[in-house]
Chains A and B, each alone.
Chain A
């Protein structure tokens, strides 16, 4: 017996087959250790010493920021889902001004950085229309931004549906509504749900940019704290960890949905 064969076997797995739990744990651990070693080595090159003690002082503020980030993201997700669906439908409208409006909207939003939209919306549109509350302005900006991406997800999955299915439904005597209800929707849900869940992680990360208009969410809280304590690295490491706490479970759920709905035939 070749002893190396067994050792190498611990790190190898065939494609398209579930990896045993032990192997999975071992290899994830290996990856984590690798990341930590690289990070730690970089730190020792720079000779930085960490002290996280000061964070205890700011517990309540950090928690408040965390909660605000969750609230911002949740409300924005709901609004952007509604708006995104409307826009996706609008892009297929028979009324041309609506179709082109939706099209231009998606192009402008996806073609410009969020930071530009935040400044212009808050200081021009927001001021002109009397949106003074920073939270509300933040939610609106974020919703409008994310809705363009959600519209594209929905449009993309609709386009991936096989046209013959609609023809078949039609020939079987389905009405437009029935075809939508029994043929289109189930497949759309299966196809968009994993991507939409993943988009929620994006909403959470994008909400950090609202710090530039002083919405005191997680990032702004950390910026304020590091400005007074000068513990820039500690603050941002904690910030990164907190975002991971929110986004990792979402990525996990998204992956679950992907597996759960995998039965949908691929076109």
Chain B
């Protein structure tokens, strides 16, 4: 009997110890820097080089996307890499779903977010934004049979509009198209599919996305390219109060606007789009004049 009890007590202690060890290990690994697991070039070159963890949603070509090998690529990637080279950082890119971008700054899993993110009042309450590095405007992708040619056509009972949850299109539609039903979806391709199939009448997103998807679906969709709102300014977001990084970013953006950096990036990533925008008389992304 005595022995059995001892064995049982020993078993209990062993179980407790194991549990505590696992818990402790879990906590420790939660404390260690998660940036090390990221993709990109994170090798330490010199002691003075710091790591810059950048969160972006790699789902918006040609700004944020992946190359054939699956590595982060695109205009935003090039831009932030140039910044990092100029200011002695090693870039680690964390591919993060759109909903998780701002939270990743709040929890300091990332140092900054460059993800074609529009500067809005609501977002600015949660994070700090750099000076704008690009301007964009919303447009509508409408179903060919919907007969919609303006926002007023859409703002009627019985009409419906797809938006990407939490995008500026979502914010705009919620404020300005109250009579239509807003269908919030998780990604752009679902929104486009809904328009193509006529499940909704329209989808609102930035001009470039709308232009490209209209090209892909020439028979079923039409694009409404009337700039029906104030231009949206894209900024790089940092953790609230990180004024050091913010100052560096602003300095870099100011120089880039004048030294032709954006022209080079346009030539590399968006040559045909630039031509089309010029033809249609739209304001270009990096036109701050």
Residues of chain A whose beta carbon lies under 8 Å from any beta carbon of chain B: 8, 11-12, 38, 41-42, 45-46, 48, 119, 123, 127, 132, 211-214, 220, 223-224, 226-228, 230, 232-233
Interface size on B, residues (CB 8 A): 31
* Pairwise interchain contact B165-A212, C-beta atoms closer than 8 A: no
- Bound: A132/B107 CA distance, A: 40
Shortest 9 CB-CB contacts between residues of A and residues of B? A227-B166, A232-B103, A214-B183, A230-B126, A227-B165, A127-B197, A46-B107, A230-B102, A212-B186
Partner of B185, one of A11, A212, A230: A212
* Pairwise interchain contact A223-B103, C-beta atoms closer than 8 A: no
Q: A123-B193, A227-B170, A230-B122 known; A214 and B185 CB under 8 Å?
A: yes
Q: List 9 A-B contacts (CB under 8 A).
A: A12-B12, A41-B27, A127-B199, A212-B185, A212-B190, A223-B184, A227-B99, A230-B106, A232-B99
Contacts of A132 in B (CB 8 A): 199
- Bound: A211/B23 CA distance, A: 34
User: Which of A46, A213, A214, A228 gathers the greatest number of chain B CB atoms within 10 Å?
Assistant: A214
Partner of B103, one of A11, A45, A127, A230: A230
Contacts of A38 in B (CB 8 A): 23, 26-27
Contact flags (1/0) for B178-191 with A, using CB distance below 8 Å? 00000111100010
Q: Is the interface of A mostly helix, strand, loop or mixed?
A: helix
- Bound: A167/B170 CA distance, A: 66
CB distance from A118 to the nearest CB of B (A): 11
Q: Is the interface of B mostly helix, strand, loop or mixed?
A: helix
With both beta carbons as reference points, the residue of chain A lying nearest to B101 in the complex is identified as: A230
* Pairwise interchain contact A224-B184, C-beta atoms closer than 8 A: yes
- Bound: A217/B71 CA distance, A: 36
Residues of chain B whose beta carbon lies under 8 Å from any beta carbon of chain A: 8-9, 12, 23, 26-27, 30-31, 99-100, 102-103, 106-108, 122-123, 126, 165-166, 170-171, 174, 183-186, 190, 193, 197, 199
With both beta carbons as reference points, the residue of chain B lying nearest to A132 in the complex is identified as: B199
Partner of B99, one of A11, A48, A212, A223: A223
* Pairwise interchain contact B27-A224, C-beta atoms closer than 8 A: no
* Pairwise interchain contact B9-A220, C-beta atoms closer than 8 A: no
- Bound: A12/B31 CA distance, A: 34
- Bound: A230/B174 CA distance, A: 16
Contacts of B12 in A (CB 8 A): 8, 11-12
Q: A224-B184, A233-B103 known; A45 and B30 CB under 8 Å?
A: yes
Contacts of B184 in A (CB 8 A): 214, 220, 223-224, 227
Partner of A45, one of B8, B31, B165, B171: B31
- Bound: A223/B187 CA distance, A: 13
**A48-B106, A220-B184 known; 14 other A-B pairs, CB under 8 Å?**
A38-B23, A42-B27, A45-B30, A46-B108, A132-B199, A212-B190, A213-B185, A213-B190, A214-B185, A223-B99, A223-B184, A223-B186, A227-B99, A230-B102
- Bound: A46/B108 CA distance, A: 8
- Bound: A214/B163 CA distance, A: 10
Contacts of B99 in A (CB 8 A): 223, 226-227, 232
Contacts of B186 in A (CB 8 A): 211-212, 223
Contacts of B27 in A (CB 8 A): 38, 41-42, 45
Contacts of A45 in B (CB 8 A): 27, 30-31
Contacts of A46 in B (CB 8 A): 107-108
CB distance from B102 to the nearest CB of A (A): 5
CB distance from B258 to the nearest CB of A (A): 34
- Bound: A227/B174 CA distance, A: 12
Contacts of B171 in A (CB 8 A): 228
Contacts of B26 in A (CB 8 A): 38
Contacts of A224 in B (CB 8 A): 165, 184
Contacts of B165 in A (CB 8 A): 223-224, 227
* Pairwise interchain contact A232-B185, C-beta atoms closer than 8 A: no
Contacts of B199 in A (CB 8 A): 127, 132
CB distance from A92 to the nearest CB of B (A): 39
Partner of B123, one of A11, A41, A42, A230: A230
Partner of B100, one of A12, A213, A232: A232
